[in-house]
Structure formats: structure tokens, C-alpha cells
Amino acid sequence: MSETLEPRLYPWQQAIWQHLLAAHKAERLPHALLFTGAEGLGKSRLATTFAQALLCGALSDTGQPCGACRGCHLFQVGNHPDYRRIEPEEKGKAIKIDTIRAFVDKGALMAQAGGYKVIVIEPADAMNSAAANSLLKTLEEPVPWTIIILVTSRPGRLPATIRSRCQRITCPVPPRKQAIQWLASQVEEGDPALFLAMGSGAPLLAKQLAVPGLLQERAGMVDEFHAALNGREDPVTIAGRWDKLELPRVLNWMSGWLIDMLRLKFGKQPPTLYNPDQLQRLQAMAQVLDFKVLYGMLDRVYEANRTLGSQLNSLMTLESILLAWANSKKITTRA
């Protein structure tokens, strides 16, 4: 079921919801809001639920959309005349100027049902510069009762001129206890605390990791990573196996292992780790490498992550990272 059809807030969003609601009730809402926060905190759902609340004719006692009025009904079936959702035509592609223009010319911005008109743009950082410029003109000359909501986990990629015209709403990271409690209600097996650590404290990322078999797969990869470092296994062979997995996940895991090794080297006892279940292996690797080498490897992985999608060949990316990794013990020894 899509986010649009199931608007429910997550438990850690109550406080920020009350804040938004108070501004709505007092008619103090700005013309543009920027919903930010790390991946996996549910900012998309927060934005969508808020959009529905603005169009709902009878908010519930808790201030959530009633789900029963005409506005909610039209919203839920994806057919509300005063709600528009702008996203890339294809995942990972840019939002183009024509798409923005179609929604932001003056006529299209006027509400039809006599209330708010709400436009959600997600991910807002997918707008190319022409599209962003077109939006900027609208933000400079706001239309009364029209609210534009930008959603992104990478606000730094938006032009400063756009950011400065939006009120920023940061989706909070839930307290650990609350996140674990929620996760426990969502996952069937495994340790919610471990999943949460692997998901950097973001419950929705953690939930994605709670897939049967995924932990074993990751443990096997840590094994191979260790084997490549010790010269027990050929890095190119390992790259060939990892190339069959999803590259973003492989890169994400590698950066997690490297960060954990750095944390272990800093020696704060006991450090908080992304991979607490792999402590011994990570410690063994951290011991034989120096800081400089680990930072260098982390840079490589970040760089590969930054250019995701533009790489012609994921196998070559993995090979170059793993070859450098297999060589890092020698560099440490030499230094």
C-alpha cells in the first residue's frame, strides 16, 4: 500500500505533528515548508499526512485527518483537485522544468475547493537547476492559501535561495527505546536492537534490514572482507560475487564496517557500533591497520557512493575498492 493510501504517523512524530498542527490552526503556516531528516525516519509519511490534514474538513480529536470526509476520500484515492505530488518520472531521474511549470503557473496554484492548495515535491533535490529556478520564482511571489512542501534527506543539494524561502521541519530521530519498541512490533524474528544499530538509528531502515537471510549474507561478506585483507582470498573473485548484490547496500555495509573499525581504534570503551554482532572480526582487522589507511578506504567507498548511478560498471568499482583493501595491510606495515 502506498504512503498516500495509508496516512498514519509514526509514534516518534507526535511532537513535531503537534507543532505543525498548532501553526495550521493559528493560520500561521508559511507558504513553503522543507521537510528534512535522514533516510528512514518517515518524513515522506509525515509530509503526506500533513498535506491530507490541510485538506481534511474534520480533523480528529488527535488532529489527524479524519479519513471519512470528502477531502480525505478524494485524497486517499489520489484524486484531490487541490493536491499535487511532484516526483521524478523515473526513480533516480531528475525533476524537469516542464513538470514544475505545469504546477506552478498562477492558474494552477489557485485552490478549487475553497481551502488550501498543497503541492508536495519529493525528493526535492531531484529538481534540476532549471526546475529549481522555476520554483524559486513561485516562492518569491507566493499565492495565498497555496502551500508548497519540499521533502529531501539532502537539503544541501538545494539552492540556498530556495532553502532560505522555506521553513525547515526536521523529522526527529526517535529515542532508542521507542524505536526498539516500534521495531519489535514490526519484525518477526531477530534482535530489534541489532537492526536499529545497523540502520544508524533510523527505524524504517532497520525494518528493511530485518529480512530473513540478510544478516547471514552480511556476516559472510565480513568474512570475505577479512579474507581479502589477509590474502586468503582473491579480491577480484570476491568483487565478482558482490557484484551480484545491490551496489548501494554493499557500499553502505562497507562504510559501516570501516567506521566501526575506526571507532574501535579510537578505543572508547565500549564504542557504539553499527555492527555489534561482528565485533571480534572488525577488531581483528582494525588492529592490523592504521588510521590513515582506514580513512583512505572510507573515502573511496564514499566517493563510489556519491557517484552511484553514474558508474558505467559496478564490477570495476568493486574491484578497485577491494584491490586497494587487499593491499592496505602492506601499506600499514611499510609505514
- Find the shortest distance in angstroms from Cβ 57 to Zn ion: 5
- Find the shortest distance in angstroms from Cβ 118 to Zn ion: 14
Which residues make beta-bridge pairs with 118?
83, 147
Nearer to Zn ion, 23 or 66 (CB): 66
Phi, psi dihedral angles at 151 (to 5 degrees): -125, 125
- Find the shortest distance in angstroms from Cβ 116 to Zn ion: 13
| Residues 6+ positions from 249 with CB-CB distance below 8 Å | none
- Find the shortest distance in angstroms from Cβ 151 to Zn ion: 22
- Going by their DSSP bridges, the two strands 117-121 and 146-151 should be labelled as parallel
Instruction: Show contacts with Zn ion in window 29-68 (CB under 5 A).
Output: 56, 65-66
Nearer to Zn ion, 65 or 123 (CB): 65
Nearer to Zn ion, 45 or 207 (CB): 45
Residue by residue, DSSP assigns 258-286 as: HHHHHHHHHT-SSPP-S-GGGHHHHHHHH
Q: In what order do the strands lie in the sheet with 117-121?
A: 83-86, 117-121, 146-151, 32-36, 167-170
Q: Which helix or strand (DSSP H or E) is residue 301 part of?
A: helix 291-306
Number of residues this chain uses to bind Zn ion (CB under 5 A): 5
Instruction: Work out whether 69 is an interface residue with Zn ion (CB under 5 A).
Output: yes
Nearer to Zn ion, 65 or 256 (CB): 65
Rounded distance between C-alpha atoms, residue 217 and residue 37, angstroms? 29
- Find the shortest distance in angstroms from Cβ 52 to Zn ion: 7
Nearer to Zn ion, 73 or 157 (CB): 73
Residues that bind Zn ion (CB under 5 A): 56, 65-66, 69, 72
